[in-house]
Amino acid sequence: MAVFSGARPLLPSALGDVPAAIASYQKAVDRNAALPASWKALSALCKSAGRIAEAENAANVAASLEQLPAAVVTASSLFSEGETHAAEQMIRQFLQQHPAHIEGMRLLARIGMKLEILDDAEFLLESVLEFAPDYHAARYDYAQVLMDRQKHAEALQQIHRLLAIEPRNLLFRSLQGNVLVGLGEHEAALELFYELRDEAPANPTLHLAIGHAHKTVGRQQDAVASYRRAAEVRPNFGDAYWSMANLKTYRFTDEEIAQMRAQESAQTTPIVDRYHLCFALGKALEDRRDFAESFRYYQLGNALKADELRYDPDALERNVRRQALVCTPEFFAARHGTGSPDPSPIFIVGLPRAGSTLIEQILASHSMVEGTKELADIPRLVHHLNGRESNDAKPRYPRRARRAWNRPVQALRREIHRGHPSLSTGKAVLHRQDAE
């Protein structure tokens, strides 16, 4: 219960409860790492409690923050608080005056990862590591963005460099497990995840990762057990509930629905967890034929999710019109034979909700076909042709495809072969892409 002195609540430290104060400040910096005053207070409290190593770490973080320009600290704080677009605007203005600032570039890259502008994030992190090759946090981000771009072999190389320095680092090993999943080495990934789970049983993302791996290899009951454990460890973990709903066959209990409702309505639940909870509730109530309430949660989840997106319907319409003008039957007929002669890669292309995933699942059930889920190969080819132009600028794609076609297509072909060893054995590899 809060204790008030006048109109100001007293913190646990003022009441002599040092462990509770440490926990409060730790929670604050976990949510927003760009709080110098909180780091200083945490350092002092840890020192008074005899927790010297933690005190020194907090003091070092506070000192590092004080050395950064105010704009970088403020933008970092905005980003941590979910003000992504405000943070992006501020850090871009700063980088216009200081284009080679390491922390500024890394922050903009992290914002790009959040907004799924992955090509920009990859470019920025490559630049950071050129200037500061020993910046391990940036290399971890770089491995993450490589994985997100389906460049799993390259991501694994970066992780091995990190593990050579810190072989027991939980974050590095967790990312290694996710990359192994991307490479199709599911049993090796599960073995690593189990090892990590034994070391950190209260880490909800590990239980989620184990659930995803079980789901991929068809062990649905094991997947459900892992998702449930993730939700037990962190009751407002929306992705755990949504992962159960996304199995399509799972039916939530009354108790689980009540728990999801309570967590979704709690003021402390982060936005990302709220919209995942909304989507899971929508599916749960739809299964119970409570369509009005189901739709209400779907609508709320979409509204919450929309705040994170940068969807521009006008830009999409312009791009579709340009593609229709350029990508005619004559355009493709003139370039017949310029792709890979290897029949092994199979691209399944369709519009969202058109059934491309179902076709992939049907074909991938064959022992000689490997499904690779939805890959970013085609968008990456478009980004390459378009250069670094924004939607507001006059784009070079698809016009540039008329002139520059063979070289990026051949580069993509080589990369696909490098990333999928199964191709050398003649095993068919599926690539799914929902067109936009």
Quote the tokens at residue 179: 């990359």
The answer, yes or no, to whether residue 33 has pLDDT greater than 50, is yes
In a domain, 301, yes or no: no
Task: State the pLDDT confidence band at 216, using cuts at 50, 70 and 90.
Answer: confident
- Contact present, 263 and 255 (Cβ < 8 Å): no
32 Cβ neighbours under 8 A, 6+ residues apart: 77, 80, 81
> Where is pLDDT greater, at 221 or 332?
221
> Where is pLDDT greater, at 32 or 71?
71
- Average model confidence (pLDDT) across the chain: 84
Q: If we measure between CA atoms, which residue out of 158, 139, 152, 146 comes closest to residue 182?
A: 152
pLDDT value of position 308: 72
Instruction: State the Cα–Cα distance between residues 218 and 210, nearest whole angstrom.
Output: 12
DSSP assignment of 100-137 equals T-HHHHHHHHHHHHHTT-HHHHHHHHHHHHHH-TT-HH
Instruction: State the Cα–Cα distance between residues 73 and 319, nearest whole angstrom.
Output: 37
H/E stretch holding 5 reads: strand 4-5
pLDDT value of position 3: 36
291 Cβ neighbours under 8 A, 6+ residues apart: 285
Quote the tokens at residue 328: 């005619």
- Taking residues 220-244, what's their average pLDDT? 97
H/E stretch holding 359 reads: helix 356-364
In a domain, 391, yes or no: yes
The answer, yes or no, to whether residue 9 has pLDDT greater than 50, is no
Task: State the pLDDT confidence band at 14, using cuts at 50, 70 and 90.
Answer: very low
The answer, yes or no, to whether residue 408 has pLDDT greater than 80, is no
Task: State the pLDDT confidence band at 353, using cuts at 50, 70 and 90.
Answer: confident
pLDDT value of position 202: 93
Any idea what the CATH number is for the domain that residue 187 is in? 1.25.40.10
Instruction: Please list the residues that pair with 347 across neighbouring strands.
Output: 431
In a domain, 128, yes or no: no
The answer, yes or no, to whether residue 139 has pLDDT greater than 70, is yes
The answer, yes or no, to whether residue 124 has pLDDT greater than 70, is yes
- Taking residues 392-409, what's their average pLDDT? 68
Task: State the pLDDT confidence band at 34, using cuts at 50, 70 and 90.
Answer: confident
In a domain, 232, yes or no: no
Phi-psi region at 336: left, alpha or beta (left = phi > 0; alpha = psi -120 to 50): beta
| Total count of domains within the chain | 3
Percent of the chain past pLDDT 70, that is, above it, reads 83
Task: State the pLDDT confidence band at 425, using cuts at 50, 70 and 90.
Answer: very low
- Contact present, 416 and 345 (Cβ < 8 Å): yes
In a domain, 151, yes or no: yes
> Where is pLDDT greater, at 163 or 370?
163
Structural domain ending residue among the three candidates 22, 43, 65: 65
Q: What is the pLDDT of residues 308-337, one digit of tens each?
A: 776 778 888 888 888 888 889 998 888 887
Quote the tokens at residue 427: 């095993």
- Contact present, 27 and 80 (Cβ < 8 Å): no
**pLDDT winner (highest mean) among 100-114, 354-368, 404-418:** 100-114
Task: State the pLDDT confidence band at 16, using cuts at 50, 70 and 90.
Answer: low
The answer, yes or no, to whether residue 426 has pLDDT greater than 70, is no
Which range is least confidently modeled, 38-47, 206-215, 370-379, 413-422?
Answer: 413-422
Structural domain ending residue among the three candidates 175, 195, 225: 225
Structural domain ending residue among the three candidates 166, 194, 225: 225
Percent of the chain past pLDDT 90, that is, above it, reads 47
- Taking residues 266-277, what's their average pLDDT? 93
Apex CA 265: angle with CA 264 and CA 266, to 5°? 95
In a domain, 321, yes or no: no
429 and 344 in a single domain? The answer is yes
In a domain, 17, yes or no: yes
pLDDT value of position 235: 96
Going from the C-alpha of 91 to that of each of 30, 71, 125, 294, 295, the distances in angstroms are 21, 7, 15, 40, 38
In a domain, 168, yes or no: yes
Task: State the pLDDT confidence band at 377, using cuts at 50, 70 and 90.
Answer: low
Which residue range is the domain that position 41 belongs to?
A: 13-65
Instruction: State the Cα–Cα distance between residues 29 and 64, nearest whole angstrom.
Output: 14
92 Cβ neighbours under 8 A, 6+ residues apart: 108
The answer, yes or no, to whether residue 122 has pLDDT greater than 70, is yes
61 and 140 in a single domain? The answer is no
60 and 138 in a single domain? The answer is no
Instruction: Please list the residues that pair with 404 across neighbouring strands.
Output: none
Q: What is the pLDDT of residues 64-98, one digit of tens each?
A: 888 899 999 999 999 988 888 899 999 999 999 99
Give the other-Cβ count within 10 Å of 192's Cβ: 20
Position 222: which residue type? D
